[in-house]
Amino acid sequence: MEIIKNYGDDLNNIIAIIERAKSRAIRAVNAEMIDMYWQIGKYISEKTNNGGWGKSVVQDFSEYLKKEYPSARGFSAQNIWRMKQFYETYRNNEKLSPLVREIAWSNNLLIMSGCKTDEAKEFYIRLCIANGYSKRELERQIDSMIFERTVLSTVKNKDLIEQHPAVGALRDYYVLEFLDIPEDYKEKDLRKSIITNLKQFILEFGTDFSFVGEEYRVQVGNTDFFIDLLFYNRALSCLVAVELKVGRFKPEHLGQLNFYLEALNRDVRKPGENPSVGLILCASKDDTVVEYALSSSLSPTMVADYTLRLPDKKLLEEKLREISILADSSLETEE
């Protein structure tokens, strides 16, 4: 159409205004609905705690609402009890009670049922706000225990992150249960499967990451070298090079990646962008070997291992408890 040819940029700007307005309207409607559930939950909580209402009254109340408001949904007896639980969960939490109004009711229910601590609840609520997760995406993140893995990685790599803050955007343990690869797979199989399942990989990797290319070519002298996967991180404003290893981590892997990072910084990085960051993603690693290898590295690099199955929940929770005990003991020693 002629109008698109002549006024394409103007039309796109107007469409952007419309989309922003629609987004604000949806958020406003959601906030009002969550506030309504909060108020109903508060009312039910006060009535039941004072001994006036029981399950039969709530059931009758649900049936009455269905008759009076047949077009309204979400007022089953079960959901009304959830409103009560929702209110009682957050009523004394000044930090989280405003945040829960910014995410969908279905996501609030997942977080309430799937998180034991306020720290975990806050983590997933803020993750939903930042990334606009659907119910299915949030469910996957909770099942893969991304909160526990992030906490463990941050504590375990505290010194490394202090030295290179940019690696804090990475974790040292990734869950790639969505990959469909043969049992006896090679690095190219792993890489191709990641590309095929790129949306799920970005969900695990972090939505601030955007894909640049696979087997990304960098030329040094007269020789071509190929980086397995190259991403760009919008929050960090830097390139992120990922090297895939189907075996155990070896110190020489780090030398290879450092070479790639130097090439990216010299020849690919744009003015104003931060130094490139590296990730070695391997099937397994010895933490002591990793520590020795990274101790003399000048490049911001994380060495991570991956699993093709969802993690053992009890094992990760036990590791978190061990870290909490060690942290408490450290504080007592300092005092």
pLDDT tens sequence across 79-128: 999 999 999 999 999 999 999 999 999 999 999 999 999 999 999 999 99
What's the Cα-to-Cα distance from 322 to each of 144, 189, 307, 317, rounded to whole Å? 20, 36, 22, 9
**Confidence (pLDDT) at 203:** 95
Inform me whether the pLDDT recorded for 1 exceeds 60. no
Q: Which letter, b or e, does each residue of 6-35 get, where b requires 16 or more Cβ atoms within 10 Å of its Cβ?
A: eeeeeeeeeeeeeeeeeeeeeeeeeeeebe
pLDDT bin (cut points 50, 70, 90) of residue 331 is very low
Q: How far separated are the first and last CA of the chain, in Å rounded? A: 74
Question: How far, in Å, are 117, 118, 215, 287 from residue 123 at the CA level?
Answer: 10, 8, 34, 26
**Entry pTM:** 0.87
Tell whether the model's pLDDT for residue 244 goes beyond 90. Answer: yes
Which whole number is the average pLDDT over 63-75? Answer: 84
Q: Report the sign of the C-alpha dihedral through residues 14, 16, 21, 26, in that order.
A: positive
Average pLDDT along the chain: 90
What confidence score (pLDDT) does residue 318 get?
83
Question: How distant, in Å, are the alpha carbons of 16, 33, 73, 125, 319 from that of 103?
Answer: 22, 11, 18, 7, 30
C-alpha closest to that of 26 among 103, 90, 109: 103
Question: pLDDT per residue over 277-325, tens digit each?
Answer: 999 999 999 999 999 999 988 899 999 999 999 988 888 888 787 777 6
Percent of the chain with pLDDT over 70: 94
Q: List % helix, strand, coil for the chain (3-state, nearest 5).
A: 60, 15, 25
Q: Rounded distance, CA 212 to CA 89, Å?
A: 42
